[in-house]
Amino acid sequence: MTAWMELAVRNTLRSPLRSLQLILVVLLITGLVCAAAGIHHALGRGLQQAGSEQVALVMSLSSEGSPERSLLSPQALSAVAALPGLSQQRDGSPLIAAEVVHHAGFATATSSPRQVVVRGIDPATWALLPGARLITGRMPQHGEVLVGSHAAAAIGVSPATMAVGAEITLDGEVFLVSGHFRAQGHLEGSEVWMPRDAALALTRRDGPSILRVDSGEAAGAVDLLSLRRADLELMVLSEADYLRDLSAVHRPLRSIAVAAAVLALVAALVGATTTVAAALAGRSCEFACLRAIGVSSRTLLGLVFAEHFLLATFGGALGIVLALLLLDQWQLPLASGTLPLAVDGWALAWGAICGLALIPFIATALSLPLLARPLPESLRSS
């Protein structure tokens, strides 16, 4: 067995250019499949699993489920807070965060104008987003902001321009970056946060955009309020339903990612098939001579499989390493923020399966007709 593996390694080195071509094809296949699987998972289950059924999002009826377009009446907060059965904070007040969501113009001394999502937050926001935490700096005071860990990538600027102590301009007003936060698994990680009162002043609003409510045992009461208080024009969605709707909106993008990967995969396989077929045709004389001295066709078939499996293993390993280095945590831009692309075990498994399986099986399938010919015929044609 060891001798045959050594022979397989030697055969792969006989034509370095052909071997390099196949390694690059496998690398491309593995990387594309990992990327497509990661995008499909991030916009599907990854986005849907980030929401909680217990957390309700209260928005204005005219917003059509978009927090950026929502504007609630100032009375909405007191009406929701008066509902019995809501989860309580330590001080006994209802666990509600009144937030302002706004697309602001962003600029620094070294960057051109861009757009960023600004969120005015309450202290309760941290409790209602379990994955959110302060990672550097301190909480913002008047004229200060917190910057999400993925905000620089989402905006397309250098992280240094949004470092702690840097000054940024939002809608023409200058703010000091007091710290950075991370919102693991949430779209909010690409936003800029400031105190709610500062966001109200920046946007010149008199009421919040959304209410984030831990409904506790009062989920039905929050829904009922939207019907009883028609004057407030409220709509209520659970956080999980909101993210499911957002995932459904991005379903075409998931399909496009998969279709693009499939088309590139087909193109790569066509090129690989041509390369393998030409290489096998050039070895017909070698195979005929080996069969003439007693080597079985089954053994030669295994040798061909082993040669291409070695190349596929090397190319697949490189593809997985590059996918982890270049694609993992890459920021996928969406209208509502950015979502980190997680190249997890599921995406790596699909990449490894496609990368390791396709080329060896193509080579095996192409060598079957060559090795199935009668030996006299093979010797004459060689």
Q: What is the pLDDT of residues 314-364, one digit of tens each?
A: 888 888 888 888 877 676 666 656 666 777 777 788 888 888 888 888 888
- Whole-structure pTM value: 0.71
Check the CA dihedral 145-149-155-159 and report its sign.
Answer: positive
Under the banding of pLDDT at 50, 70 and 90, the label for residue 178 is very high
pLDDT at 179 (0 to 100) = 94
Q: How many CB atoms lie within 10 A of CB 328?
A: 16
pLDDT digits (tens, 9 = 90+) for 41-97: 777 666 656 667 788 888 988 888 788 888 888 888 888 888 887 877 777 778 888
pLDDT band at residue 140 using 50, 70 and 90 as cut-offs? very high
Residue 109 has what pLDDT? 65
Q: How far is CA 289 from CA 57, 285, 293, 349, 377, in A?
A: 75, 6, 7, 40, 12
pLDDT of residue 51: 66
HSE value, Cβ hemisphere, 13 Å, CA-based, for 362: 25
Q: Is 55 helix (H, G, I), strand (E, B) or coil?
A: strand
Structure tokens at 341: 């692309």
114 is written with which tokens?
Answer: 């861009």
Domain ranges of the chain: 2-49+250-381, 55-214
- Of 268 and 75, the structure prediction assigns the larger pLDDT to 75
Task: Give me the residue label for tokens 């019995």.
Answer: 84
- The helix/strand/coil state of 193 is strand
CA distance 342 to 63: 31
